[in-house]
Amino acid sequence: MAAIKKPRGKQIRSLSSATDITDLETFSGVRPLDKKFKSKTLPGKAPGVRRMRESEYSELMKSKQTVRYLYGVKEGQFKRIYDAAARAKGSTGDNLLTALELRLDNLVYRAGFAATRAQARQMVSHGHVVVNEKRLNIPSYKCRIGDVVQIKEQSQQKAIVQFALEIAKQKEDMTWLTVDASKFKVTISDEPSLDRLHELFKVNHVVELYSK
């Protein structure tokens, strides 16, 4: 599956005015990204230089890119997910966020079995993940309530998985997921909780942008 290859640091710097970067995946390698560069300083500019006032379209676009980059979804695929969300009953914004949260790669990340979504996507692609006891290598696979996602037994002691579990101890628990870290297993027990996501994302901007 194709993945976004733009450096993570550039993504965060370009979007830092659209969201709180501390909520983005700022972990990369052995050091957090916010230790590698000054996110509040404009690329190629001296400290203190202010950003130019953005147009309405630019603000809408940045809000959309924030969601897309965070989940690691390319433009064409993101548009297809949005179109399906718009056709479904209920709030388009809620449908969109729910679809993104239920992606297999995101669930591996949310469960704490991968340090980043990019790492989770790679683990799924390389066959380290099983869903309902069947191996699945499709990161975009949409899971459902009741599905059980687990790391393959042969992959459970990999260093990246153990390291991710240590990082996960510092993260907020997902109330809609039942995680059994000792068995490297997570069960989807409810619909994704969207309150925190609505605080992080301006999903109404995404709907407005695609409605134009």
Q: Provide the token pair at 46.
A: 């001296």
Report pLDDT digits (tens) over 63-116: 999 899 889 999 999 999 999 999 999 999 999 999 999 999 999 999 999 988
CB 79, CB 65: distance < 8 Å: no
The whole-angstrom separation of Cα 159 and Cα 30 is: 13
Q: How far is CA 199 from the centre of its chain?
A: 15
Q: Provide the token pair at 43.
A: 């690329």
What's the pLDDT score for residue 22?
42
What's the pLDDT score for residue 42?
58
Instruction: Examine the pLDDT at 168 and tell me if it is beyond 80.
Output: yes
CA distances from 2 to 27, 61, 72, 142, 149 (A): 21, 22, 10, 17, 22
User: 3-state class of 56 per DSSP?
Assistant: helix
**Domains defined along the chain, listed by start:** 8-100+196-211 (1.10.1050.10), 103-188 (3.10.290.10)
What's the pLDDT score for residue 71?
92
For the chain, first and last CA: distance in Å? Answer: 29
The whole-angstrom separation of Cα 177 and Cα 189 is: 6
The whole-angstrom separation of Cα 99 and Cα 168 is: 22
Predicted confidence band at 200 (pLDDT cuts at 50, 70, 90)? Answer: confident
Q: Whose CA is closest to 102, among 25, 205, 193, 185? A: 193
Say which residue the tokens 């972990």 belong to: 27
Report pLDDT digits (tens) over 5-64: 666 566 666 665 444 444 445 444 445 555 555 555 655 666 666 666 778 898 899 899
What angle do helix axes 159-168 and 117-125 make, rounded to 10 degrees?
A: 140
Q: Provide the token pair at 151.
A: 């790391």
204's CB contacts (< 8 A; 6+ apart) are: 93
